[in-house]
Structure 1
Amino acid sequence: MPPVLGVHLILTSLSKDYDGFVMNYNMHSMGKTIPELHAMLKQAEKGLPKKTPAVLTIKEGKIQKRKPQAGSGKAKGKSKKAYTPKKKIPPPAKKEHPAKDMACHHCGQIGHWRRNCVLYLEELKKGKAGSTSTSGT
């Protein structure tokens, strides 16, 4: 049986309590495999009211009803995730001296930026000194 047909068969066999899940699945055209769909259904089942019957679980090729867990509902150990989280990609390492390879846009020399250029800073000082003296007269 093709996987698409199996997923469709599973989705159509769900009770009316799962209508929201089925509608969301179909709207987003997820195209998941049967084990991925099963994990998503188990996750969605946690949000349903308690009176809803349990989703069938697959064990060793047999379909069995899932038994409710004994206890207060909280697992003592860490819960296992039904999916594998995406790996976080670290940002690229920062360079110690990024200006070492760059050329100044003001004087064209390699090894510093315009904001650190001696010629540019001198011109700025001259420009400010010249503008204050001309505006005062």
Structure 2
Amino acid sequence: MGISSTVSRGGTAEPTHGGGPRCCSATCWKISSNSSFNLRSILEKEKLNGINFVDWIRNLRIVHRQEKKEYVLDTPYPNEPQNVAYNSNAYHAYVKHTDDVVDVQYLMLACMNSELQKQYESTNPHDMIVGLRGMFKNQARVYRFNTSKAPFRSKLAEGAPVSPHVIKIIGYIESLQRLGFPLYDHLATDVILQSLPASFEPLIMNYHMNGLKKTLTELHGMLKMAEVSLRKAPGHAEGVKGHWSRNCKKYLEEKKKNGGVASAQGINVFEINLAMRSNDAWGLKIIRRFTRDDVDLRIREWSKG
């Protein structure tokens, strides 16, 4: 949709689009030159050429979000208010919108190759975005597919740092949201928890059993704290990242030498009393799950005399 309306200011009619001068790069880069924090240089690096639409539209939104003009990309071109005074709020909002349209349109055109410039020279930003999405929808579809696949396939290796891993998955989740396919809170949390190794199973169990609800940022912080606790836990070979006694060569050699029994050094003894009557039962909470050879469990029968 072309734009050829005029806006009257002080008795002078100024063409908004169509009737104005043809866009050129020199003119476009002068727009908003007084911005205190000009991000437009990120669009100058690589013009839209047909194969970089996803990256280009993301950078475009970053720039206009900083300039508070992103709404122009998502809002149809406004109709001029009827039967209102030129000094009314409604008319001022209309004038601001049309001014922002000019700025955004010229910048978009300046950051396209010449073929696309010719095609969209008289098109407003909102209609331009709709047209470009239709033109490059297959590219966007492939990008969405790869982005949606990544978080579900991400797995943290045992002993690897948890923070970079979680930040990476949160980045995938935010990318899907920008594409219009958000993972809502519970599913986003499940994606992160499912990607963790076996050493985090007690935390995951505790999270679900206690009905915890955390934002992704809060979950990230909780997992970092849990990681510190795991590294201090018994059975975690000191100074060896992600190394447990059941996988320790020294531990296994000592166990073999002693006929299948490991040294008693460092062994923790737990006494568990189980009551037959429900009112005698203790409230027990799962702190950590043990695997084979982590615990030697001995049970004896005991009754009150």
TM-score (norm 1): 0.36
Structure with the largest fraction of helix: 2
Higher relative contact order (CA 8 A, sep 6+): 2
Larger Rg over CA atoms? 1
TM-score (norm 2): 0.17
